[in-house]
Amino acid sequence: MIKAIETKLKGCFILQPQIFEDERGYFYESYNHKDFCEAIGREVTFVQDNQSFSKKGVLRGLHFQKGGHAQAKLVSVLQGKIQDVVVDLRKDSPTFGQHLSIELSDENKKQVFIPRGFAHGFLTLSETAKVFYKCDNYYRKEAEEGIKFDEAIIGINWKINKEKIITSEKDKTIYSAKIFK
Ligand SMILES: Cc1cn([C@H]2C[C@H](O)[C@@H](COP(=O)(O)OP(=O)(O)O[C@H]3O[C@H](C)C(=O)[C@H](O)[C@H]3O)O2)c(=O)[nH]c1=O
């Protein structure tokens, strides 16, 4: 069983799986294809699972793949806590350029479904975080683009001071303004 709540960004859902707790601990179905597709009201076929491990302050993103290589993602946290951020880049969307920020953790066990056409990134809030996400399209390096995490046009309020944020060299040099022309 999984509950899905659609966000202000059409097609983007926050999901809450049913947790079975007992004196041993807990169990839950982190993914059930039939329940998931029924919950979001559409068929999605994931083809690639990713995992990344990050230290506190690491910010990965904001990334997306262009055109036919765009990826829908189902993001969850196996260990730790992150500030997960999605940006609507669908040119025909009434919420184009708007973003959503949500805390995902191994405590709340929430998941975010991000449709194709979004940029995605997250900031690691706990000492370490292990993030797991399913993708409905394969990685294509040459199709990758990004938005700088501190892009003023988007105006994301990251929960860690900028000087303490750790990014890859690639993410330091992402030029994103062209996306909004
Ligand atoms: C994304 C990806 C990367 N790689 C290789 C390419 C690099 O040699 C290495 C690290 O890649 P990168 O620095 O792009 O990893 P992240 O910064 O975590 O990128 C991710 O950041 C945000 C959170 C996302 O949602 C994207 O899925 C993804 O872009 O893994 C692969 O082999 N396959 C892949 O699917």
CATH number at residue 151: 2.60.120.10
Residue 133 has pLDDT above 80, yes or no: yes
Of 14 and 179, the one with more pLDDT: 14
Q: Which whole-number Å values give the CA distances from 135 to 74, 107, 146, 167, in the listed order?
A: 7, 23, 17, 22
| pLDDT-wise least confident of 85-94, 142-151, 155-164, 169-178 | 169-178
The half-sphere exposure of 79 on its side-chain side, counting CA atoms within 13 A, is 10
**What pLDDT is recorded for position 177?**
62
Tell me what percent of the residues of the chain surpass a pLDDT of 70: 98
**What pLDDT is recorded for position 174?**
82
Residue 126 has pLDDT above 80, yes or no: yes
Dihedrals phi, psi of 151, to nearest 5 degrees: -60, 120
For the chain, the farthest-separated pair of C-alpha atoms sits apart, in whole angstroms, at 56
In terms of residue numbers, what domain contains 128? 45-180
The ligand 1 atom at the shortest distance from the C-alpha of residue 62 is: 22
Q: Does residue 72 form part of some domain?
A: yes
Rounded to the nearest integer, the mean pLDDT of the chain is 96
Q: Place 179 in a pLDDT band, splitting at 50, 70 and 90.
A: confident
Q: Does residue 33 form part of some domain?
A: no
What is the pTM assigned to this prediction? Answer: 0.97
Q: By the 8 A CB rule, do 154 and 147 touch?
A: yes
**Using a CB cutoff of 8 Å and minimum separation of 24, what contacts does 156-159 make?**
156/85, 156/99, 156/101, 157/101, 158/59, 158/83, 158/123, 159/83, 159/123, 159/125
Q: Does residue 128 form part of some domain?
A: yes
Q: Does residue 78 form part of some domain?
A: yes
**What pLDDT is recorded for position 173?**
86
Q: Place 180 in a pLDDT band, splitting at 50, 70 and 90.
A: confident
Q: By the 8 A CB rule, do 166 and 55 touch?
A: yes
Say how many domains are in the chain.
1
State mean pLDDT over 82-109: 97
State mean pLDDT over 34-49: 98
Query: 133 an active-site residue?
Result: yes
Q: Does residue 6 form part of some domain?
A: no
**What pLDDT is recorded for position 178?**
72
Mutation probe of ligand 1 site: the residue of 46, 49, 52 with most atoms within 8 A of C-beta: 52
Residue 175 has pLDDT above 80, yes or no: no
Ligand 1 lining (C-beta closer than 6 Å): 50, 52, 60-61, 63, 120-122, 139, 168
Does the predicted interface ipTM exceed a cut of 0.85? yes
Q: What distance in angstroms lies between residue 140's CA and the mean position of ligand 1's atoms?
A: 10
Dihedrals phi, psi of 18, to nearest 5 degrees: -80, 125
